[in-house]
Structure 1
Amino acid sequence: MMKISTKGRYGMRAMVDLATHYGKGHILLKDIAKRQQLSERYLEQLVLTLKAAGLVNSTRGAHGGFTLAKHPSEINLSEIFQALEGPLGLVECVDDPTACGRIDSCVTRDVWQELKDSITSVLASKTLRDLVEKQALNEKKSMYYI
């Protein structure tokens, strides 16, 4: 079974949280952890990875915290996924044609390549802003009025 790791899932949630609070100043890690119900220690590791990838900025001090490095509409999910999970490698022969001696006669390689391209395309076509907008719609739908 293909699975996205906890690192990828939790990191994506943290990025959506930062995007939701974009423009509202620095966000404390403990606040993200509380809202997303994540371990603050684990979240710290994820945010450092995202910072190293240039997706998150941090500021120390009394008014410190974390912010997105760019506007939510300028960060696509592919960037986040690659920072947290590394390159999408479904089958070794897709990324390294020398990995398999059957490359010229393999009828399934094209399927794996197409699958990788499809996943990459979906992630590249969605931005953090898209997810924030969807979240706002979901919250609006779930409101109960008397």
Structure 2
Amino acid sequence: MKVTRKSDYGLRALFTLAKFYGEQPVSIGQIAAEHRIPDPFLEKIMQELREAGLIEATHGRSGGYLLKRRPSQISIWEVVQALDGPIALVTCLDPNLKCAIEDGCPTSSLWMLINERFEHCLKELTLDDLLKAEQAHIS
């Protein structure tokens, strides 16, 4: 599994919501313009993030989207899981597929370890870390 454009766009959208956390809702148009994401695709992504319980929508004249939790409480792993599903760096680790040479494969344990470490890294990183990285980049 490679991290798809959907997860990349989803992280960009959540980055914007994290910037405005505790303030006003952010419109889909504002997010789309800031990150050059096509509106229909962004709407689908936001719906999936809403269904995953990561964001909420507010309606009305000043409506938009808000994070449901603090940026420090939303991991990158949660976002990728919500938009792309299980992480499998190689085909043999994909839970939806059966590896043809599973028994006796010399590299499966290595890939399993790498996959676990990648998952751990994504679970440790949060939207707050993304904000801090951007601030460090700007400074």
Partner of 1:125: 124
Partner of 1:51: 50
- Structure 2 contact 3–80 (Cα < 8 Å) conserved: no
State the secondary structure of the residue aligned to 2:57.
strand
Q: Matched residues in 1 for 2:5 and 2:99: separation?
A: 30
State the secondary structure of the residue aligned to 1:99.
coil
Query: Aligned pair 1:3/2:19, yes or no?
Result: no
Cα offsets for 1:76-124 (capped at 9, x unmatched): 000001001111123454355x934643422211011012112101101
After TM superposition, which residue ranges in structure 1, 4 or more long, deviate above 4 angstroms?
none
Cα distance change of structure 1 residues 39 and 117 upon mapping to structure 2, 3 Å threshold: same
The within-5 A match list for 1:89-128 is: 89-94=88-93, 96=95, 99-100=98-99, 102-128=101-127
- Of the structure 1 ranges 98-107 and 26-35, higher mean CA displacement relative to structure 2 is found in 98-107
Cα offsets for 1:31-68 (capped at 9, x unmatched): 11111121122111110010000001001111211000
- Structure 2 contact 18–131 (Cα < 8 Å) conserved: yes
Partner of 1:60: 59
Residues matched between the structures, number: 138
- Structure 2 contact 2–89 (Cα < 8 Å) conserved: no
Question: How large is the RMSD of aligned CA atoms in angstroms?
Answer: 1.8
State the secondary structure of the residue aligned to 2:56.
strand
Give the % identical residues.
Answer: 34
Q: Matched residues in 2 for 1:135 and 1:94: separation?
A: 33
Partner of 1:72: 71
TM-score with structure 2 length normalisation?
A: 0.90
Partner of 1:144: none
Computing the radius of gyration over CA atoms, which structure comes out larger, 1 or 2? 1
Q: Matched residues in 1 for 2:57 and 2:39: separation?
A: 15
Partner of 1:20: 19
Q: Matched residues in 2 for 1:106 and 1:7: separation?
A: 32
Q: Matched residues in 1 for 2:89 and 2:54: separation?
A: 25
State the secondary structure of the residue aligned to 2:30.
helix
Shift in Å, 1:73: 0.4
Q: Matched residues in 2 for 1:17 and 1:122: separation?
A: 22
State the secondary structure of the residue aligned to 1:43.
helix
Shift in Å, 1:5: 1.3
Unaligned runs of 5+ in 1: 142-146
Cα distance change of structure 1 residues 105 and 15 upon mapping to structure 2, 3 Å threshold: same
Cα distance change of structure 1 residues 7 and 101 upon mapping to structure 2, 3 Å threshold: closer
State the secondary structure of the residue aligned to 1:66.
strand
AA matched with 1:12? L
